[in-house]
């Protein structure tokens, strides 16, 4: 079984993609299991086979411990980790080709805390990878694109999973945005021309140095535009994921 963690900032489209891509894979006659790791989600566009809400009641944690929403989420994820063996048992009973794992809305609670690492190290497939989602509305400035790549690299550093970058909501932005962002990803020159038109002096040097560092670390990480509304890009996402999951990521140093 291939396991795929779907990670990205709040609102980047993780839950929607988990639902749409699992439906699409089933249409390709694949057996797919879905896992919801978000204790705070109210409704899901898919029926999870494993759901952390069965192990922890986020609203109750918030009320009983008089916590705010973020502290309650942290406490809830800790609670989930206490049930990790049960989660593992629930998963081991699943016979699927693919397991899509939808992660909590607030990314840092999963990606930058030890609980997230424990979960990602425990709930695995025969091969495991991560989709890191980028929202094109945010990435359309060179500086934000560099910041988003930086973030994806930070998460990869922590979770240590082969990564495919996904540009979500391709249907919701003008086509030229998608082309421009793909151009920046592919070509150092294209990025520097557009960044140079906006940024000057030290700022430009800083952004360029960051991008050069990121290219050096993970130049061959694929970036695939997709839409969970039109299912654009799912064929490429499927083939790229299959390759990464079978071969591992060539550029992992
Ligand atoms: N137009 C469009 N909207 C999307 C797409 N994917 C997600 N959204 C919307 O983006 C918002 C956040 O999506 P959600 O999946 O909840 O994000 P999450 O917090 O990362 O799980 C919702 O309003 C979705 O309907 C897409 O491919 N196209
Ligand atoms: Mg979500």
Quick one: CATH architecture of 8-106?
A: 3-Layer(aba) Sandwich (3.40)
Alpha carbon distance 227, 114 (integer Å): 32
Give the helix/strand (H/E) hosting 166. strand 163-167
Residue 56 burial (10 A CB sphere; 0-12, 13-18, 19+): buried
Three-state secondary-structure class, residue 59: helix
CA count, 13 A, side-chain hemisphere, 250: 6
Alpha carbon distance 161, 159 (integer Å): 6
* Atom 1 of ligand 1, nearest CA residue: 172
Q: Where are the domains of the chain?
A: 8-106, 127-253
pLDDT in tens, 81-124: 999 999 888 888 888 999 999 999 888 888 898 999 999 999 99
pLDDT in tens, 191-227: 999 999 999 999 999 999 999 999 988 778 999 999 9
Band the pLDDT of 251: cuts 50, 70, 90.
very low
CA 221 to ligand 2 center in whole angstroms: 24
CA count, 13 A, side-chain hemisphere, 152: 32
Given the candidates 3.60.21.70, 3.40.1080.10, 1.10.287.70, 3.40.50.300, the CATH classification of the domain at 127-253 is 3.40.50.300
Three-state secondary-structure class, residue 10: coil
CA 10 to ligand 2 center in whole angstroms: 7
Identical fold at 8-106 and 127-253? yes
pLDDT in tens, 33-60: 999 999 999 999 999 999 999 999 999 9
User: Taking the CB of residue 157, how many other CB atoms lie within 10 A of it?
Assistant: 10
Mutate to test the pocket of ligand 1, among 6, 14, 16 (most ligand atoms within 8 A of CB): 16
Matching residue, tokens 């557009």: 194
């Amino acid at each position: 079984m291939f396991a795929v963690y779907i990670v990205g900032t709040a609102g980047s489209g993780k839950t929607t993609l988990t639902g749409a891509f699992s439906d699409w894979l089933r249409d390709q006659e694949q057996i797919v299991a879905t896992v919801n790791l978000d204790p705070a989600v109210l409704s899901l566009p898919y029926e999870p086979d494993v759901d952390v809400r069965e192990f922890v009641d986020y609203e109750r944690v918030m009320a009983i411990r008089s916590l705010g929403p973020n502290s309650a989420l942290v406490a809830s994820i800790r609670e989930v980790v206490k049930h990790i063996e049960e989660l593992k048992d629930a998963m081991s009973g699943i016979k699927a080709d693919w397991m899509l794992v939808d992660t909590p809305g607030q990314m840092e609670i999963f990606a930058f805390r030890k609980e997230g690492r424990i979960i990602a190290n425990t709930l695995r497939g025969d091969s495991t990878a991560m989709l890191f989602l980028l929202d094109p509305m945010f990435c359309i400035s060179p500086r934000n694109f560099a910041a988003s790549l930086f973030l994806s690299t930070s998460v990869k550093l922590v979770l240590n999973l082969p990564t495919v970058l996904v540009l979500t909501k391709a249907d919701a932005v003008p086509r030229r945005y998608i082309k421009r962002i793909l151009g920046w990803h592919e070509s150092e020159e294209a990025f520097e021309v557009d960044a140079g038109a906006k940024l000057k002096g030290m700022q430009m040097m800083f952004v360029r140095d960051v991008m050069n560092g990121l290219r050096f670390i993970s130049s061959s990480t694929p970036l695939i535009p997709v839409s969970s509304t039109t299912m654009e890009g799912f064929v490429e996402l499927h083939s790229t994921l299959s390759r990464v999951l079978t071969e591992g990521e060539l550029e992992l140093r």
